[in-house]
Amino acid sequence: MLKNSIANVSDRIEYVLPTGHRKSLKKILMTADTVGGVWVYALELAQALSKKGIQTILASMGAPVTSEQRQEAQRIPHLELCESSFKLEWMEDPWPEVKQAGQWLLQLEKLFEPDLVHLNGYAHGSLPWRAPTLMVGHSCVLSWWQAVKGEPAPANWNQYWRQVRRGLRSADLVVAPTQAMLTALEEHYGPLANRKVIANGRDSALFRPGKKEPFIFAAGRLWDEAKNIMILEQVAPALAWPVYVAGNTQHPAGRRVEFSHLRLLGCLPAQVLLPLFGRASIYALPARYEPFGLSALEAALAGCALVLGDIASLREVWGEAALYIPPDEPKAIEDALQLLIKDAAYRQELAARARLRALKYTTQGMANSYLAVYRELVYAREFV
């Protein structure tokens, strides 16, 4: 394991060995789940890496890959998709399948011989990898529970805590998309020797502001209490504009959430979902917990005014470019939405601020930052 070898990584993306030969990075093995924003993040990064001639072996877990997801992956050059549906570590009774997934991943490493392993989960960080490992903390149950439930996670999550802690401590580098998420990881699992913040990015060309229409939009895992979509259900009857929501209402364990006052659109393919961002005037993400918020970035790129939960991570990402509301105060979100509905000038100003801020979070910037640490890890392994 590489301890204290990458404490200060520059933005360089190529490293020259003492012999004068350039150390190449040709292939990475990356894990990704298929049930959340990590899938979008993984494909976005793989697309950018492919332009550098780097091959990504993408190992999918969590649920079977949908036909649309498979088609998305197939459109990316230099990406090879290896599919599975092993349970993720936060799912119900996952550990036998997490162990099987680990054996499968080690087989993939032996087969493809990647230069680096990029993990988007925690438990597999402690596997006996041959290649250096980078682990990204996109979210975690303990910080989710504290934020959503207002109390520590119960004792039945102790094994999860042990597995995540062990994985984090085994990885050569831990990355998070915000300082807030990195801080949460250290609060719940202890200090991390090597850590770095790399913000997520999206291709702005995919999200064009269109002719704005009088509706509010929200998208994501509607069943996730952290997204706090139920508060929109409470205030929707009092609003002059309708609230449209897109996403899955069914938890992977089977339970479903029901809404009466929101306009449900279901799970939409990208070619339908992306234009909706362009048409929406307001995007609402009243989250109690959101380590970065890719959907807010997409909405801002498409010219939406943002109404967000007042939490540290979203303030870190958006600064003065959004309207913030306490996540558990229905009257506050009702007032914020009514204000933007009534005040077109302010709504347009807020949307312009959000888009300007969003343009900072580029795919290329994200990819360059990852390339820098990838190459530093590979380089350091050569001389440990």
Q: Are 73 and 79 in contact (CB under 8 A)?
A: yes
Structure confidence at residue 381 (pLDDT): 77
Structure confidence at residue 212 (pLDDT): 97
Looking at the structure, tell me whether residues 215 and 107 fall in a common domain: no
Could you tell me the pTM of the whole model? 0.91
Looking at the structure, tell me whether residues 177 and 300 fall in a common domain: no
Looking at the structure, tell me whether residues 374 and 283 fall in a common domain: no
Is residue 8 in a domain? no
Pairwise CA distance, residues 150 & 148, whole Å: 6
* Domain at 115, CATH number: 3.40.50.2000
Looking at the structure, tell me whether residues 85 and 211 fall in a common domain: no
Looking at the structure, tell me whether residues 141 and 225 fall in a common domain: no
pLDDT at 315 over 60: yes
Q: How confident is the model at residue 11 (pLDDT cuts 50, 70, 90)?
A: very low
pLDDT at 6 over 50: no
Structure confidence at residue 90 (pLDDT): 94
> Among residues of the chain, what percentage have pLDDT more than 70?
93
Q: What average pLDDT score do residues 52-79 get?
A: 96
Comparing C-alpha atoms, which of 225, 223, 221, 259 is closest to residue 243?
Answer: 259
Looking at the structure, tell me whether residues 46 and 99 fall in a common domain: yes
Q: What average pLDDT score do residues 247-265 get?
A: 85
Looking at the structure, tell me whether residues 316 and 264 fall in a common domain: yes
Is residue 16 in a domain? no
Looking at the structure, tell me whether residues 64 and 184 fall in a common domain: yes
Comparing C-alpha atoms, which of 176, 175, 193, 132 is closest to residue 7?
Answer: 193
What is the number of residues in the chain?
A: 384
Count of structural domains within the chain: 2
Structure confidence at residue 314 (pLDDT): 98
Comparing C-alpha atoms, which of 320, 357, 323, 321 is closest to residue 340?
Answer: 323
Is residue 14 in a domain? no
Is residue 19 in a domain? no
Mean pLDDT of the chain: 92
* DSSP label of 20: S
Q: What average pLDDT score do residues 327-335 get?
A: 96
Is residue 2 in a domain? no
Looking at the structure, tell me whether residues 89 and 188 fall in a common domain: yes
Q: Which residue did the predictor score with more confidence, 323 or 251?
A: 323
Looking at the structure, tell me whether residues 208 and 310 fall in a common domain: yes
Looking at the structure, tell me whether residues 173 and 247 fall in a common domain: no
Is residue 3 in a domain? no
pLDDT at 267 over 90: no
Is residue 95 in a domain? yes
Q: How confident is the model at residue 350 (pLDDT cuts 50, 70, 90)?
A: very high
Predicted confidence (pLDDT) per residue in 87-133, tens digit: 999 999 999 999 999 999 999 999 999 999 999 999 999 999 999 99
Give 70: exposed, middle or buried? Use CB within 10 Å, 0-12, 13-18, 19+: middle
Predicted confidence (pLDDT) per residue in 150-204, tens digit: 999 999 999 999 999 999 999 999 999 999 999 999 999 999 999 999 999 999 9
Looking at the structure, tell me whether residues 208 and 165 fall in a common domain: no
Q: Are 105 and 31 in contact (CB under 8 A)?
A: yes
Q: Which residues contact 253 (CB under 8 A, 6 or more apart)?
A: 91, 92
pLDDT at 383 over 90: no
Is residue 22 in a domain? no
Pairwise CA distance, residues 76 & 18, whole Å: 35
Structure confidence at residue 248 (pLDDT): 85
Q: What average pLDDT score do residues 224-252 get?
A: 93
**Could you list the residue range(s) of the whole structural domain that residue 161 is in?**
27-201+363-382
Q: How confident is the model at residue 23 (pLDDT cuts 50, 70, 90)?
A: low
Q: Output the DSSP codes for 71-109.
A: HHHHTSTTEEEE---PPPTTSSS-HHHHHHHHHHHHHHH
